[in-house]
Amino acid sequence: NIELNFDKRFASGVPDTAKYSGIYVVYAYNSQSGSWKLLDIGQAVNMYERHLKHERKSQWEKVAKETKSDIYIYTAEISNEHSHRDVAEAALLYKFKPLCATDGKQGYHHGDVKIVVKGMLAKAFGVFTVCNEG
């Protein structure tokens, strides 16, 4: 089991105080319609540094502009001890297939895992299991 507690949310950018390692989830939210669009999922050794010049940030901004949405980034602190961060990222990418992510949506290549999502994304992601079908 791997637990992810998405206890931090940032609007329009990750602050320089967010220098921890973990998993991030990027959403576009349209307050008029109440609709959410999952844009990206990834991991970082340093959340702030990763988001300074993220290679897909222009894609997020384009979708947000087209859908008249604001960008929100949710983070969960997690180390990569026992490859937990790698496995959690791969499981989330494979299960939820975010719009802008380019890798990891086609297959899951780690051991079977149960992911328990807590915090602000508990209702969106919940508890799920991903199995290696290879």
**Residue 4, beta-bridge partner list:** 117
Average pLDDT score over the chain: 94
Task: Identify the residue with better confidence: 38 or 53.
Answer: 38
Q: What's the token pair of residue 17? A: 């105080």
Give the pLDDT score at 30.
Answer: 96
Q: What percent of the chain has pLDDT over 70?
A: 99
Per DSSP (E only), the strands in the chain are: 2-11, 22-30, 35-44, 70-77, 113-119, 127-130
Give the pLDDT score at 134.
Answer: 63
Q: What is the pLDDT of residues 76-129, one digit of tens each?
A: 999 988 899 999 999 999 999 999 987 778 889 899 999 999 999 999 999 999
Give the pLDDT score at 92.
Answer: 96
Judge whether residue 12 has pLDDT over 80. no
Average pLDDT over residues 29-52: 95
DSSP, res 99 = S
